[in-house]
Copies of this chain bind each other. A is one copy, B any other.
Amino acid sequence: LINNQHSLSPNFSPQTERLNDSSGSNSGGESSKESSRCSTPVLDADRSDRLRDKMRRRMESGDRWFSLEFFPPRTASGAVNLISRFDRMGSGGPLFIDITWHPAGDPGSDKETSSMMIASTAVNYCGLESILHLTCCNQTKEKITDYLTKAKRLGLKNIMALRGDPLGEDWEEEEEGFNYAVDLVKHIRSEFDDYFDICVAGYPTGHPEAESYEDDLRHLKEKVDAGADFVITQLFFRADTFLKFLEDCRAIGITCPILPGIFPIQGYQSLRQLVKLSKLEVPEDITKVIEPIKDNDAAIRNYGIQQAVEMCRVLLESGKVPGLHFYTLNREVATMEVLRQLGLWIEDPRRPLPWAVSAHPKRKVEDVRPIFWASRPKSYIYRTQDWDEFPNGRWGNSSSPAFGELNDYYLFYLKSKSSKDALLQMWGEELMSEESVNEIFTCYITAQPNRRGHKVLCLPWNDEPLASETNLLKDELEKVNRRGVLTINSQPNINGKPSTDPIVGWGPAGGYVFQKAYLEFFTSSENVTALLKVLKKYEPRVNYHIVNVHGRNLTNAPDMQPNAVTWGIFPGREIVQPTVVDPVSFMSWKDEAFALWIEQWAKLYEDESPSRMIIKYIHDNYFLVNLVDNDFPLENCLWQVIDDMFELLDVPPELLNDGAVSE
């Protein structure tokens, strides 16, 4: 269809020639690759390419990358922590991450700790290009096919094909079964054609069970010839080891990318354990250093970091290594430090869109979302996961398929990182009145400790501290929250700032971004009554939606018509409008927003307890309000709207303030 993704127009390419002398330029070279792949203007090619194409383009541009390996967590809370680690380490700009396969841990199941679920979450909810490991020995073809089918359904596009360790000592080759990784590679290609990008393992010192180093090289060649796209190596301790291996691979005709596996030594135990598993020998000069300090974790880690940095420098300077693969052991510090010292860690990532995109293939053209889920993007992705098409270019009228219900507020990728106790400390062990709720909101805004001395780092609607953009509105937000205008989402108006602006910028360089001022809050029906009177003065400058938990939506907005509140203008592209205020979606959002009062807050307290009653009262009686100031070039008038509302309430502000401070 006109506005959706399109293949190349056959009758165009032949007509068009690229100027040799301009194709080198950024605007030429880069984006030409880009536009031929994705339909939506702002998207960088990275979003729509498959992994092997990303690698190819990075190699062409000489732009080195890194990747990160994680293993699945053992516990549910471990899963929650790992997902937020993905978010943090993802911001450093890895080209991909990979998740190991643990046959013992039911790796293909729907358990939140399974390899399959973790990889799926990384792709769908963290927007990370991910590789799922898969081991084949002792597995039937049917089982493997089931795993691959499920992986494909979940949006996974890359498989690391491994043999895996035989279970038990008395393992023998099976006639029909999978005996080597090459059998798995062949199976994937025969069953799924070219759908998956396939990675295989290389052993710089030869696989421990191989008859010889040369024999092992031949096995690697077989795996690549069978259809593997690139190689990641086992860890090693000397750059020379890898460089020789690389040379030998090229010598026998292995031409695909070969990525060195880097293992920053992080501790004495982990090193010994890994060496045992991988049957590797630690060079004497390393053991000589480590043994004396084996009980000093900090010292060992510092040494590991230095050792890894030096080795990586040699590898990169060889000019033969396009990217580095890190065995993180699910830890952040050492790997991040190594990457920082190598200058590979992206400190200030450019955002292709104002919100974090999902890496699921079917979402690759998505570039419009309602603003309501700005602080709960994972919930938005969850509630729209069944959509077959995603808005591209325009949201459209009542165009969204129905949103999925959000019944389980405890899905591990949605769960708060804070424990119940921590939440009680932040939000109050005991609430005395609505004013104590105002105070919690105010403390969250100001980042000041509450009366019990605990900082309020999150709210049910915001699992993170205030965004730097929202900080621009801090003073005004504090003022209104103190008085019972409980804000949960807002953005300032922006009249054409550079797309590279560190705070509000997004999209390709050389563009301009714009915003309409937006404010969303819960407030009492008394306030709403006054607000509605006030809003008449602001017609048609201000659009509003006002709804309570029962779903009575008062609005002056053109029915069914979305209001674009964020947009960007870029060189050589169509307009992009990534966030809208959409009346239809708002009704789905309000169900979630109101439910969070109960699910996340009220349920912290005993049944029938005053605290729970207070939250319940707010849930039952407050309204959810959103306001848009359409005059983005003028000064934001929404604060004036709220001030006018307070005036109309005709209550001396001091009194209200006291109310908010004393209980």
Contacts and interface: CB of A to CB of B under 8 A. Distances in A.
A9 B4 CA distance: 21
Contact of A574 (B1, B394, B402, B584): B394
Contacts of A630: 510-511, 570-572
A316 to B, nearest CB: 29
A108 to B, nearest CB: 33
A467 to B, nearest CB: 23
Given A3-B1, A569-B632, A559 B36 contact: yes
B25 A560 contact: no
Nearest to A563: B572
A498 to B, nearest CB: 10
A250 interface: no
A419 interface: no
A390 B575 contact: no
B573 A399 contact: no
A361 interface: no
Interface string A1-23: 11111111101100111110110
B31 A561 contact: yes
Interface string A549-578: 001111111111111100101111111010
Interface stretch (A56-64, A186-194, A534-542): A534-542
Contact of A569 (B3, B511, B514, B535): B514
Nearest to A498: B633
B554 A17 contact: yes
A391 B6 contact: no
A11 to B, nearest CB: 7
A555 B399 contact: no
A123 to B, nearest CB: 22
Contact of A391 (B3, B18, B396): B3
A25 B556 CA distance: 8
Contacts of A496: 495-496, 633
Taken together, the copies of this chain in the complex come to 2
A250 to B, nearest CB: 34
B36 A3 contact: no
A540 B392 contact: no
Counting chain B CB atoms within 10 Å of each CB, the highest count among A3, A36, A555 belongs to: A3
A543 B564 contact: no
Interface string A30-64: 01101110110100000000000000000000000
B32 A558 contact: yes
A468 interface: no
Contact of A558 (B392, B536, B572): B572
Contact of A394 (B12, B393, B584): B393
Contacts of A539: 22, 25-28
Contacts of A28: 539, 556
A385 to B, nearest CB: 16
B39 A396 contact: yes
A429 interface: no
Nearest to A582: B574
A580 interface: yes
Contact of A396 (B393, B510, B535, B633): B393
Given A496-B633, A553-B17, A561-B35, A399 B567 contact: no
A2 B396 contact: yes
Q: Which of A5, A22, A389, A551 has the most CB of B within 10 A?
A: A22
Contacts of A15: 551, 553, 587
Given A25-B540, A36-B559, A571-B543, A587 B12 contact: yes
Given A9-B584, A564-B575, A584-B9, A559 B18 contact: yes
Interface string A391-417: 111111111101000000000000000
Nearest to A590: B15
A4 B539 CA distance: 29
B2 A560 contact: no
Question: Which one of A9, A395, A532 has the highest number of Cβ atoms from chain B below 10 Å of its Cβ?
Answer: A9
B560 A8 contact: yes
10 contacts: A2-B3, A12-B583, A12-B584, A16-B587, A17-B552, A18-B555, A35-B558, A36-B559, A496-B496, A510-B541
Given A2-B391, A18-B555, 9 more contacts: A2-B399, A12-B584, A19-B555, A22-B554, A27-B557, A393-B394, A511-B630, A514-B569, A563-B572
